[in-house]
Amino acid sequence: MAILMGLISALCWGSTDFMAGQAARQVGVTRSLFYSQSFGFLLLTAVLAFRPASLRIAAIDTGLLIAIVAAICNLVAMAALLKALSIGKASVVAPIVSLYGAVTTLLAVLGGQSVTGMTVAGLALCIVGASLASMSKSSGGKAESPGSIGFAMLSALAFGLGFWLQGAFAVKSLGVLGALWIYYLTAVVILFLLLVGKRKLVAPPGSIVVLLMSISLFSLVGFFSLAFGATTGHVAIVTVLSSLASGVTVLLGFFIRHERPSQAQWTGIVAIIVGVVLLKLTPQLLAA
C-alpha cells in the first residue's frame, strides 16, 4: 500500500505541474493560479467540514503567523513555477524546481540537523544536475530560456523556504490540514486582491474549467495519498516515491509536448532526481 500511495502522489503532483503550465499559457499566471487555488480551497474546506477537529486554529499566535509567511513563500514559488513552465520546457523546469528539497535540507542543517554522507552526495548531485540541465543546449541545439531557468530557481528557493517553515513550525502548531488550509486561504485572498486591482477578475473560460479543476483535484489527491501512505508506517518509501513527481513531469513533456532535451540535459535531470531521492531518504534514515 505504501508503494502504491507514493506512486499515486508522484503521478498526481507531476501531472499537476504539467497541467498548471498548460493553464498558465492560456490565461496567464495570476488568473490560472487564482482559479486553481480557489477550487483547491473549496475542495479542502469541504473535506474539513466533515473533519472540523483537523482545523486546529484557535487564536492568532506565532504558529499561525509563520503559516501565513510560509503560505506567501509557497505562493511566490507557485507563481514562479507557472511562469517558468509557461515560457520553458517542462522537462527541464520541473527537475530544477525539485531542488527545493536541497534548499529545505540546507535550512534544516543550519537549524541543527545532522549531516551525513548521503546528504552531501544528494546536494552535490542536485548542484551538478541543475548546472547540466540549465546550461546545456537541447537536442535541437537551442539553449533553455534564461527566464525559465531563473523563475525555476526562484521557485525552488521559495518552495524550500516555505516548506521548511511549514514543517518546522506551522504544522506543529496547526496540524497538516490546518497549515494547508491556511495556504489556500492566503493564496486566494492575495490573488483575489491582485486581480481586483488589475481589474482582471473574470470567470474562467469554459474551455479550461475542467483543466483547472483537474489541477486542484490532482494536487489534493497527491497530498492525501502521501499523508495516507505515511500512516502505513513506511514513511521513507512513500516520501521517496513521491519525490519522483518531477520525473513524471519530464515524461509528460517528452511525450505530449515533444520536448527533446539533449544527452547532457537528460544526465542533469537524472542527477537531480537521484539527488532529491537521497535527500528525501536522509531524515528517514536518521530517524530509524
DSSP 203: P
Burial tier of 275 (Cβ tally within 10 Å: 0-12, 13-18, 19+): buried
Tens place of pLDDT per residue across the chain (288 aa): 777 888 999 999 999 999 999 999 999 999 999 999 999 999 999 989 988 887 877 777 888 999 999 999 999 999 999 999 998 888 889 888 888 888 888 888 888 777 788 888 888 898 888 888 776 555 555 666 788 989 999 999 999 999 889 888 888 888 888 889 999 999 999 999 999 999 989 988 888 999 999 999 999 999 888 878 766 766 667 767 787 888 898 889 889 988 888 888 889 889 988 988 888 776 655 555
Domain ranges of the chain: 1-284
CA trace torsion 43, 83, 70, 245 (10° rounding): 70
Q: Phi first, then psi: what are they for 113, rounded to 5°?
A: -70, 145
